[in-house]
């Protein structure tokens, strides 16, 4: 049990009696951090959740925004950190399965997946094992279900050696007149359970996810990891979509964390109703299962439908056609209570509101003490530093990961993995972009600017594709919230994220909080992963690679001497110190709006390439554009907008926010720069696409494009060979 003494007293006072063992188990999972958000809800209220395009904000299985006249874009994000640390293949696979079900639960067809991953260094054998099998779990599940994995990100750091992070995003499309909710609105309706049979896997999954890992967790907590079944998921998805088309479904919810207890009680509570369910009606996978096991099991691939009794026959006919187990397990009542029976005998009787709305917990927040010692760093040669950075695991090509994913299935993918964001087609003219971002080192050094930077970078990624930001979802990964220093990090990150989102009128439509990411005293760096979607006219797509010899290179935004927390400091010098780059929110907003305005007015396709600056700074961004386009460039860094008297190393590897690189023909460049500067946006032509080498004379940097490719494209493969 994870219930505290105060919570036990609260429960007894509300009930006027002691709960029985089954009721204790049900309350235990519903009061867990994973289900109740009891620590985080007051802080999450900082996020903007409403907007002109918002159809449904946080509170259901996923959020929905207006995409076209007929369609809504559905998005959700989840973590499966603890299960993946214990059993990486199954843990990652069930994470994908859970987020897919969340999208289906809204009545939507899932069309895209992204993953955001954190591991220890690949020099470590266990980290290689976790990395390999998490990627394989995501790949096998997504590929078998037929949903493309179109993008994501991976970071490696010693901090994640014992506690990897596995965050997954799913996006879907739904007709606006076909949206359903996880609700039981009408007394007299019935609950129909469909999908995989209920077994003993996943019991205490949510409580396991709401406590720290230990060295014995791999053995003791393995039964709490659910078993994935992508082939059944494919059947479940097809049967659900057919049922939504043919039957008047009153409510729909997947069985994820908390199993039947969470699903039924939350649906009833949202409808202001109660529920009565009979355990002998639940299709079981194993003999002799107790009421406790049935109600707490988190077996996968299960859905609960709420329908009027007159629609049951038609619904069951559909499930039978798809050869799926199904059963009418109970009915919606009007008394507000969750009553569980076994052969008609009551074995649990609890208020739905008590289960679905546990009391909040006020946590203390205190800024942690950090070592303020600052090591003086001696600069190395620019060409040596750039090659080291390109071959570092955080910047090197992630092709080893995404080549295992089927990103072509459903034939919507217009821009594939490897660019700033993925682009997916909705129709012949419209599409949407997807990306995911977070810099855990920045968040560790300064949670406010690190959190703000995660949102800002994700916005820059969709803007760099020519796309207007539409909405965001997040997965907030932190340590133990009972520790004041951790809760301070959480509050600061959310404040920074919220401030950027508000300036961009970017609604947060769904998300997830993952606390207790600690193993025997080692706390993960705060990692608020952000996924942003953008709306795009397909004619406006811009991509990263250099395209044409002679195009001029324009840098937008100011560069400051911000090497603290940079990949240059970490990779080349092995230090993490100082202050994270600041996010000038207004400058970030103005730069993004200026770039979008340029793209929208660019009917002649004068902007030939577009890329944002992030990890590794200007030098890495130039190198990525060169190696992807197989063109060299000659660059004059004395023309870089920003602070004066910076060293070449500072100019090349600073990770200042709010910056973009674009290329344009010589005839167009002057007009583009004039348009930007007249709008108060710092911009300058810093070079041109030329030759087969990246040349920066002021830094004595001259590297062949082929050498850039060799450094960038083989690092992960060499570890995973």
Q: Name the residues annotated as catalytic.
A: 34, 80
Q: How far apart are CA 546 and CA 256, in angstroms?
A: 45
Under 8 Å CB-to-CB from 530, ≥6 apart: which residues? 436, 437, 438, 454, 455, 457, 458, 472, 473, 474, 497
Q: Which strand (E) or helix (H) includes residue 43? A: helix 41-44
* Cβ 22 vs Cβ 295: under 8 Å: yes
Between CA 596 and CA 600 the distance in angstroms is 6
Which residue in 276, 414, 248 sits closest to 345, CA to CA? 276
Where does 176-238 show beta strands of DSSP type E? 190-195
Given 3-state DSSP classes, what are the helix, strand and coil percentages for the chain, each rounded to the nearest 5?
Answer: 40, 25, 35
* φ, ψ for residue 582, nearest 5 deg: -80, 155
Reduced to 3 states (helix: H, G, I; strand: E, B; else coil), residue 469 is strand
- Rounded CA separation 127/10 (Å): 42
Residue 609, beta-bridge partner list: 663
Q: Rounded CA gap, 197 and 326, in Å?
A: 9
Q: How far is CA 196 from CA 258, 301, 323, in A?
A: 16, 5, 11
| Nearest alpha-carbon partner for 498 in 528, 470, 537 | 528
Distance separating alpha carbons of residues 203 and 193, to the nearest angstrom: 18
Please say whether the beta carbons of 617 and 562 come within 8 A.
no
Long-range contacts of 362-369 (CB under 8 A, 24+ apart): 362/42, 363/39, 363/481, 363/482, 363/484, 363/487, 364/484, 364/487, 365/484, 365/487, 365/488, 365/490, 365/491, 366/484, 366/485, 366/487, 366/488, 367/485, 367/488, 368/485, 368/488, 368/489
- Cα 331 to Cα 189: distance, rounded to the nearest angstrom: 6
Q: At a CB cut-off of 8 Å and minimum separation 6, what does 342 contact? A: 278, 279, 280, 291
Separation of alpha carbons 663 and 197, rounded Å: 56
Which residues lie closer than 8 Å to 216 by C-beta, 6 or more apart?
Answer: none
Q: How far apart are CA 304 and CA 377, in angstroms?
A: 59
């Amino acid at each position: 049990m994870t219930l505290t003494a105060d919570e036990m007293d609260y429960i007894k006072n509300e009930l006027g009696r002691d709960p029985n063992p089954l009721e204790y188990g049900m309350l235990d999972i519903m009061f867990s951090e994973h289900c109740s958000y009891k620590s985080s809800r007051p802080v999450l209220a900082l996020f903007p959740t409403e907007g002109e395009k918002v159809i449904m904000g946080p509170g259901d299985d996923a959020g929905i925004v207006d995409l076209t006249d007929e369609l809504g874009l559905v998005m959700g994000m989840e973590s499966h950190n603890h299960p993946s640390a214990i059993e990486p293949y199954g843990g990652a696979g069930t994470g994908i399965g859970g987020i897919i079900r969340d999208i289906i639960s809204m009545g939507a067809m899932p069309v895209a997946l992204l993953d955001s991953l954190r591991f220890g260094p690949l020099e470590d054998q266990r980290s290689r094992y976790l990395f390999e099998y998490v990627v394989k779990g995501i790949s096998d599940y997504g590929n078998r279900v037929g949903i493309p994995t179109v993008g994501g990100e991976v970071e490696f750091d010693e901090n994640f050696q014992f506690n990897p992070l596995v965050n997954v995003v799913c996006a879907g499309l739904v007709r606006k007149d076909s949206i359903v909710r996880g609700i039981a609105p009408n007394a007299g309706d019935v609950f129909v359970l469909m999908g995989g049979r209920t077994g003993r896997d996943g019991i205490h999954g949510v409580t396991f996810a709401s406590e720290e890992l230990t060295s014995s967790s791999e053995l003791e907590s393995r039964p709490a990891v659910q078993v994935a079944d992508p082939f059944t998921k494919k059947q479940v998805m097809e049967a659900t979509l057919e049922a939504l088309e043919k039957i008047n479904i009153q409510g729909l919810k997947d069985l994820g964390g908390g199993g039947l207890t969470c699903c039924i009680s939350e649906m009833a509570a949202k409808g202001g109703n109660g529920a009565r369910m009979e355990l002998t009606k639940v299709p079981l996978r194993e003999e002799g299962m107790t009421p406790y096991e049935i109600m707490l099991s988190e077996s996968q691939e299960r859905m609960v439908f709420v329908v009027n009794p007159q629609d049951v026959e038609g619904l069951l006919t559909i499930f039978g056609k798809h050869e799926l187990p199904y059963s009418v397990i109970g009915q919606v009542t009007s008394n507000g209570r969750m009553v569980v029976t076994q052969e008609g005998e009551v074995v649990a009787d609890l208020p739905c509101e008590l289960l679905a709305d546990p009391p909040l917990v006020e946590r203390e927040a205190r800024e942690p003490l950090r070592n303020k010692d600052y090591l003086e760093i001696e600069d190395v040669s620019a060409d040596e530093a750039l090659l080291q950075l390109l071959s570092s695991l955080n910047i090197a090509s992630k092709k080893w990961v995404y080549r295992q994913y089927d990103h072509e299935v459903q034939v919507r993918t217009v821009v594939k993995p490897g660019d700033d964001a993925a682009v997916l087609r909705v129709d012949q003219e419209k599409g949407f972009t997807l990306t995911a971002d977070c810099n855990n080192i920045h968040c560790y050094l300064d949670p406010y600017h690190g959190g703000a930077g995660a949102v800002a970078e994700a916005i820059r990624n969709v803007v760099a594709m020519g796309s207007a930001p539409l909405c965001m979802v997040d997965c907030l990964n932190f340590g133990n919230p009972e520790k004041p220093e951790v809760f301070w990090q959480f509050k600061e990150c959310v404040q920074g994220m919220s401030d950027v989102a508000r300036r961009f009128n970017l609604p947060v439509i769904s998300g997830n909080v993952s606390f207790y990411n600690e193993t025997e005293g080692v706390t993960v760096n705060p990692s608020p992963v952000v996924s942003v979607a953008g709306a795009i006219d397909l004619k406006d797509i811009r991509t990263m690679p250099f395209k044409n010899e002679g195009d001029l290179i324009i840098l937008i935004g100011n560069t400051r001497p911000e090497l603290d927390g940079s990949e240059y400091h970490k990779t080349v010098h092995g230090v993490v110190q100082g202050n994270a780059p600041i996010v000038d929110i207004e400058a970030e907003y103005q730069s993004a709006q200026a770039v979008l305005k340029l793209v929208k007015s660019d009917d002649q396709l004068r902007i030939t390439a577009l890329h944002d600056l992030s990890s590794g700074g200007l030098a890495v961004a130039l190198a990525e554009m060169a190696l992807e386009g197989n063109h060299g460039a000659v660059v004059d860094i004395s023309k870089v907008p920003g602070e004066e008297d910076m060293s070449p190393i500072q100019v090349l590897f600073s990770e200042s926010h709010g910056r973009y690189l674009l290329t344009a023909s010589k005839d167009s460049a002057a007009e583009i720069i004039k348009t930007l500067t007249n709008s108060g946006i710092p911009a300058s032509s810093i070079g041109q696409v030329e030759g087969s080498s990246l040349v920066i004379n002021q830094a004595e940097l001259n590297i062949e494009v082929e050498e850039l490719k060799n450094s960038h494209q083989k690092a992960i493969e060499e570890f995973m060979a």
